[in-house]
Amino acid sequence: MIATPRLVQVRQHLLKENDVLARVLRQRFHDAGTTVVSLVSSPGAGKTALLERLLTDCGADYRVAALVGDLATDNDARRLARSGAPVRQIVTGTVCHLDARMIAGALADWTLADLDLLFIENVGNLVCPASYDLGENRRIVIVSVTEGEDKPRKYPTIFDSADLAVVTKMDLADAVGFDRAAFEASVAAVRPGMPIEYVSSRSGEGMASLCHMIAPPIHRRATAGVAL
Amino acid sequence: MHELSVAIGMVDMATAEAERLDGEVLALHLKLGPLAGVVREALEFAFELARVDTPLAASLLVIEEVPVSVYCGACGREQVLEPPHWLMCPDCGAPTPDVRHGRECELVALEMTE
């Protein structure tokens, strides 16, 4: 007798394991009263310089800490530790993104209730991090003025997963002929309505406004890229 | 290239389901949208690696690509976008942040032996 195939409904998100863990993390952050902000960008967009500023500037009013992801070295963690905030490096080896499991592991012995604001700096990559929910409240996508105004159109998925765009290196904007209107049109094309902040980590321009935007209390970011 | 992690997770998920259902998986049926951040070709390639020495070694991977559709408030209806990433109504040009489909990255069903 020939067996007849049967179709069994599963309907599970392929990144379910990550999503489940991210939901657990989000609940933990919420219960502890910790606002979590993640930063994604291409390598060299100025994530670490921005984070250095954020730890110092937001650190004046809030208890801040950071997790930083890179494929190798703890250079960023050592650089950021100068701010006095607790900083931990996540070395991913060859993995091109952070996932919820890495975050849970890195936080294992931290007391979240002691933190108001936790930053997570993802691996420099505008592709893979888009698919991984880290349990954060808000995801910031960072673009520097030197990268070209059409970056959002080139990497729409990461912009679709983010809540806020931050343009860095504004002190170089005139020198490189950064076209603000073109950039805003590019963001609006792929993520209509997403707010945009303009900063210079070097001069401090725009930092007060950015700190104000991400400062607690804010909770509940929409789960990025997940239709369950 | 996170598709390998995605493929390994998918193989684990399907293997667990097959064990629970006590059958052999003939095919995995997926839905994949352009906004999921997972590349079809890369996932197919990664699946070939991820399934080696698993009960899925001979299973087929059937991927249904879901187009991006958005709700346009101005037109009062859902619109399919082509190209998929520019969230703007193709008829009236209004921005359309309300994405209804296209983020799918889902194991929909398993085709099993009886």
Q: What is the rounded CA–CA span in Å between residue A133 and residue B1?
A: 17
Q: Which residues have a Cβ under 8 Å from the Cβ of B62 and sit 6 or more positions away?
A: B27, B28, B29, B30, B111
Nearest to B98 by CA among B66, B74, B63, B62: B74
pLDDT band at A2 (very low <50, low <70, confident <90, very high): low
On whether any CB of chain B is under 8 Å from the CB of A92, the answer is no
Is B6 in Cβ contact with A132 (below 8 Å)? no
Max CA distance (Å), chain A: 77
Model pLDDT, residue A225 = 40
Q: What is the rounded CA–CA span in Å between residue A71 and residue B61?
A: 31
Is B1 in Cβ contact with A157 (below 8 Å)? no
Is B9 in Cβ contact with A14 (below 8 Å)? yes
How far, CA to CA in Å, does A97 sit from each of A68, A133, B54, B104? 11, 11, 26, 20
Is B37 in Cβ contact with A158 (below 8 Å)? yes
Angle (CA) A194-A138-A115 rounded to 5° is: 150
CA distance to partner chain B, nearest, from residue A173 (Å): 26
- The pLDDT of B2-22, averaged and rounded, is 92
Identity of the residue in B9, B21, B85 whose CB atom sits nearest the CB atom of A17 = B9
Task: Search chain A and give the residue with CA nearest B3.
Answer: A128
Helical H runs in chain A? 16-32, 47-59, 75-81, 100-107, 151-154, 156-160, 173-176, 180-190, 207-214
Q: Which residues pair with A197 in a beta bridge?
A: A166
In a mutational test of the A interface, the residue from B85, B92, B96 whose CB has the highest number of chain A CBs within 10 Å is: B85
CA distance to partner chain B, nearest, from residue A220 (Å): 18
On whether any CB of chain B is under 8 Å from the CB of A101, the answer is no
**pLDDT by residue (tens digit) across A98-119?**
999 999 999 989 999 999 999 9
**pLDDT by residue (tens digit) across B42-87?**
999 999 999 999 999 999 999 999 999 999 999 999 999 998 888 9
Percent of chain A with pLDDT over 90: 75
Q: What is the rounded CA–CA span in Å between residue B94 and residue A192?
A: 10
- The pLDDT of A177-199, averaged and rounded, is 96
Question: By CB neighbour count within 10 A (0-12 exposed, 13-18 middle, 19+ buried), where does B54 fall?
Answer: middle
Angle (CA) B84-B85-B86 rounded to 5° is: 105
CB A142 within 8 A of CB A41: yes
On whether any CB of chain B is under 8 Å from the CB of A93, the answer is no
- The pLDDT of B4-24, averaged and rounded, is 92
**pLDDT by residue (tens digit) across A79-99?**
888 889 999 999 988 888 999
pTM: 0.87
Identity of the residue in A6, A95, A157 whose CB atom sits nearest the CB atom of B35 = A157
**pLDDT by residue (tens digit) across A5-20?**
899 999 999 988 899 9
Q: What is the rounded CA–CA span in Å between residue A44 and residue A124?
A: 8
On whether any CB of chain B is under 8 Å from the CB of A189, the answer is yes
Strands A196-198 and A164-168, sheet pairing = parallel
Q: Which residues have a Cβ under 8 Å from the Cβ of A33 and sit 6 or more positions away?
A: A113, A116, A216, A217
CA distance to partner chain A, nearest, from residue B57 (Å): 17
On whether any CB of chain B is under 8 Å from the CB of A177, the answer is no
